[in-house]
Structure 1
C-alpha cells in the first residue's frame, strides 16, 4: 500500500527544501463543491500530488477543497493537467503568488476537516450556491469610487493591520465565525448600498457574500481570487492599486508586498514596520510585528522573559515547557491581549 503521509522529520524536510536547486511556484486555490467521501478524495489527491513533489497544506471537506501549495516549476503543467482531470476543478483559477521565493512549504499535508473554512453556521437553509457577484480588479477600483459602496475586509485583525483596501471596513474579530454575524449587524442599516467583501484568496469572502445574501442584503459582491488575484491583475493591466501595504499569507513567508507603503508599527518600539515574525522562544511562538532593530536587540523574541528563556540550558527549557499549550498565538493590539491564531486562508 502507498504511504499516504509523511514519515520524515520537519527539520530534515526543511533542510532538503533549501538544498533544492529547481525553482518552485507558490499557488493557492479553493472550490466549493460536494465531496461525498472526503477521506477517499484526500488519499487519491495525496498519492498524485506527492508524485509531483508538491508541498503545502490542503484541507478537504464535504463542502470542497482549500489549498496553499508549492510546485516545482518543471511539474507545474503536469500538476495543472491532473487537477483539471477532477471534474469540479476543471479550469479552476490558480492564484500564483506575486512575491515568491519558492520556499513557502517543505512538506505535503492533506487533512480532512468538517469544513474548508470554519464558519460557525448551523442554519440548514444556508446555501453556498446563492453567493455574491464576482468583481475583478478593474471593477473593484470602479466600485470603490462610488460613494454607495462599502468595502468589507473579511480577514483577521493581524492581516488587516499590515495591509488593506482604502476605506475598507474592518470587522474587529480574529475568527471568521465571529465576523459573519458581526458584519450583518454592522451593516444592517446599509442594505441599499453596494457591499463588496474581500479576503486573501477568495474563500472567506465568497462564503461571506452568500451569508449576507442569506440575511437579506441585495447588492453583494466579492473580489474574485481575493487580494492575491487582484495584485496579479493590477500588475498585468497597469492599474492603480487601491490596496495598500502588505498581504498577509499563511505560509512560511507570512506576507507578500503589494505596495511600498508601510502602514503598521513595530509592536515593541512603535516605529513603522510590517514584518510578522513568530517569537524565537518555541514555548511562546507569538505572532507579532517586529522591526529589524528590535529583532536584533531582542534576538527575535517578543519579551525580555522569552529572551532570557532561550538562553537557558536545553534541559531546563524542556522542563519549563512541560504542560504549556504551544498553540500559536497572535498579538492583537486592538484588544490589548493575546488571541489564538485560528484563521487560515489562501
Structure 2
C-alpha cells in the first residue's frame, strides 16, 4: 500500500521548497457538502494532490472540505481538472492569494476532522442548506453605504487588529464556537436590519450566516469568498477597497496587504506596525505584532527573557522547555477585549 503521509523532516522539506526552480500559486477553497467516507476521500485526495506536488493544509469532514494550499504553476490546470472532476467541487471558486511569493507551505497535510469549522452547534435542526445571501465586492460596498447595515467580522482579534472593513464590529472571542452565540446576543433587537458577515475566505461567515438565519434574523448576507475574493474583485474592477489594512492568513506569510494603511501597533513599543511574527524562542512561540526596530532589538523575540533564552546552548533551552505548563512560554493568541457597542468601529 502506498505511503499516504509525509515522512521527511520539516527542515529538509523547507530546504527543498527554497531550491525549487518553478513558481507556486497559493490557493484557498472550501465547500460544504455531504462526505459519506471522509477517510477514504482524504486518502484519494492525498494520492492525487501529492502526485501534483501540491503542498498545504486540508481538512476533510462529513460536512465538506476546507483547504489552503500551494500549487506548482505548471500543474495548475491539472489540479483544477482533478478538483472539478469531483462532482460536488465542480466549478468551485478558487481564491488566489493577492500578495504571494509561493512559499506559503512546504508539505502536504490532509486531516480528517469532525467538522471543517468547529462551531459548537449541537442543534439537529440546524442546516447549512439555509444560509445568507452572497454579496460580491460591488454589492458589499453598496450595502456599506446604507445606514441600516451592520457589518460583523467573524474572525479572531489578532486578525481584526491588523485589518478590517469600515464600521465592522469585532466579536470579542478567541474561538468561532464562542463567537456564534455572542453575535446573536449582540444583534438582538436588530432582526430586521441588513447584517453582513465576513471572514478571511468565506468558510466561517457562510456558516455564521446560516446560524443567524436559524436564530430568526431575516436579512443576513455574507461576503462571497471572504476578504481574499473581495480584494481580488476590487483590484480587477477598480472600485475603492472598504477593507482597510492587512488580511491575516493562516500560512507562512501570516498576512497579505490589501491597502497601504497600517492600523495596528507594535506590541512592544507602540509604534505603527502590522507585521505578525512568532517569538523565536521555541519554548514561547507567541504570535504578536513587532516592528522592524523591535525585531532587531529583541532578535525576533517577544521579550528580553526570550531573547536571553535563544542565545543559551540548545540543551539548556530544551531543559527550560520541560515541564512548562502555563505562563508566557506557552503559545497563546488570546487577549482580553471589551465587547464593542453597536455602531462602534
Which structure 2 residues correspond to residues 1-346 of structure 1 after superposition, within 5 A? 1-324=1-324, 328-330=331-333, 332=335, 334=337
Length-normalised TM-score, structure 1: 0.95
Deviation at 1:314, TM superposition (A): 1.0
TM-score by length of 2: 0.96
Distance in 1, Cα, partners of 2:330 & 2:286: 9
CA offset digits 1:210-246 (Å, max 9, x no partner)? 0000000000000000000000000000000000000
Moved over 4 A (4+): none
Contact 2:286 2:330 in 1 (8 A): no
CA distance in 2, matches of 1:167, 1:201: 19
SS at match of 1:332: coil
C-alpha distance in 2 between matches for 1:330 and 1:78: 38
**Which residue is 1:339 aligned to?**
none
Describe the shift of the 1:327–1:133 C-alpha distance in structure 2 as closer, same or farther (beyond 3 A): farther
CA RMSD of aligned residues (A): 1.0
Structure 1: state its 5+ residue gaps.
Answer: 336-346
Query: Could you tell me whether the CA contact under 8 Å between 1:150 and 1:195 is conserved in 2?
Result: yes
- Unaligned ranges ≥5, structure 2: 339-345
The alignment of Structure 1 onto Structure 2 pairs a total of residues equal to 335
Asked if structure 2 preserves the Cα contact closer than 8 Å seen for 1:205 and 1:223, the reply is yes
After superposition, what is the alpha-carbon deviation per residue over 1:284-323, rounded to whole angstroms, capped at 9, x for unaligned?
0000000000000000000111111111111111111113
Asked whether the equivalents of residues 24 and 72 of structure 1 are also in contact (C-alpha less than 8 Å), the reply is yes
Corresponding residue SS for 1:28: strand
Query: SS of the counterpart of 2:285?
Result: coil
Q: Distance in 2 between matches of 1:31 and 1:121?
A: 18
Report if aligned partners of 1:155, 1:200 keep a CA contact under 8 Å in 2: yes
3-state DSSP of counterpart to 1:330: coil
